[in-house]
Amino acid sequence: MGVNKISMWYLLLAIPFIPLLVLWFSIDVRQFLHKRRGVRSPIEGQKFLRGPGQYLREQLWHWLTKFMGCVLGVVCMASISSANIINAIQSEPLQLARIALAAGLPLVTSVVFVFLSIRYFGVAQRYRRGLEGEIAVSQELNQFIARGCFVFHDIPEKSIGNIDHVIVADTGVFAIETKAISKMTSGSRSAAVECDGVRIRFPSGRESSQPIIQAQRGAAWLRRALSDALASDIPVRAIVCLPGWFVENEGSQRGEVRVRNPKRIVNVIANERNRLTTRQMKQIERWLDARCRTEEF
């Protein structure tokens, strides 16, 4: 088999990737020309508030990018393996060992990419579910703005990760942790949970205290931070939100953390005994605004 025939197979293999290279080059050239002409966004340099699930959105994009990279790796390695097999089959004399060697390494690499793709997709799905939950809760919480409350989302803090939502009302400050937990599609109690203030019990029999601990940690940090910033003690109530779940024993929950469906948070806020002055609310709002205004486009 001649060198020209072998080269033809690899040329055919490369043809599908030529448009991708042209596209990538064109985008780079376009961005370079925009910068050279001094063209920029009208909001460049401004900072904006973080949206609901901002961290989850960033992680979702990160893992989807890795997933797409692995999918591209599968296609490339499978194509190389196919070209190698064809070249080995058409060689004279036909040698099985040569075929196995030519196809083996690309195929093994392709299998590795397949397993990585499955793993990355699973991680992305978990972040997507969490993002959906935070968006659903944020739409319920944003209604409190019309009642004179301040609502912030995705408050960043490296020591605890982040606080999903914060409401500043005249009855106090509320740190809200959202958990979008999957549930069964059927059954009379498939969407009902119980909470004793320490752990959450799901219909499957599984119990979890992690959401409550996480909410307590976020509320404790926020209380310390606000108290230091305002030079006065600012109590913070921790709430765990379970979108899509019905919490059966709301009235008998012990402890400092309340577990609620997001549509039922209004009762917690209305019944809180703490009172904030208008001045305190404005001070807390300014502090949270500065903390959450990190996004640039």
- Which residues sit opposite 194 in a β-bridge? 201
Q: How many domains does the chain contain in total?
A: 2
Q: In whole angstroms, what is the distance from residue 253 CA to residue 192 CA?
A: 15
Q: How confident is the model at residue 4 (pLDDT cuts 50, 70, 90)?
A: low
Q: How confident is the model at residue 3 (pLDDT cuts 50, 70, 90)?
A: very low
End of a domain among 103, 135, 167? 135
Tokens of 60: 């979702």
- If you average pLDDT over residues 148-177, what whole number do you get? 93
> Which range, of 86-90, 91-95, 238-242, averages the lowest pLDDT?
91-95
* Same domain flag for 124 and 60: yes
* Residues ≥6 apart with Cβ < 8 Å to 287: 225, 226, 229, 230
Q: In whole angstroms, what is the distance from residue 164 CA to residue 221 CA?
A: 13
* Same domain flag for 130 and 186: no
* pLDDT for residue 8 is more than 60: no
Q: How confident is the model at residue 87 (pLDDT cuts 50, 70, 90)?
A: low
Q: How confident is the model at residue 17 (pLDDT cuts 50, 70, 90)?
A: low
In a domain, 140, yes or no: no
* Same domain flag for 160 and 125: no
* Residues ≥6 apart with Cβ < 8 Å to 181: 202, 242, 245
Q: How confident is the model at residue 15 (pLDDT cuts 50, 70, 90)?
A: low
* Same domain flag for 22 and 120: yes
In a domain, 143, yes or no: no
Q: How confident is the model at residue 111 (pLDDT cuts 50, 70, 90)?
A: confident
In a domain, 275, yes or no: yes
End of a domain among 107, 135, 163? 135
* Same domain flag for 172 and 66: no
* Same domain flag for 131 and 12: yes
In a domain, 219, yes or no: yes
- The per-residue pLDDT for 76 is 80
> Which range, of 13-17, 24-28, 152-156, averages the lowest pLDDT?
13-17
In a domain, 244, yes or no: yes
* pLDDT for residue 287 is more than 60: yes
Q: How many CB atoms lie within 10 A of CB 138?
A: 20
Q: Are strands 200-201 and 48-49 parallel, antiparallel or unpaired?
A: unpaired
pTM, whole model, 2 decimals?
A: 0.81
- The per-residue pLDDT for 106 is 76
* Same domain flag for 126 and 153: no
End of a domain among 135, 164, 193? 135
In a domain, 141, yes or no: no
Which domain covers residue 82, as residue numbers? 3-135
In a domain, 16, yes or no: yes
- The per-residue pLDDT for 78 is 77
In a domain, 98, yes or no: yes
* Same domain flag for 115 and 246: no
* Same domain flag for 291 and 165: yes
* Same domain flag for 69 and 190: no
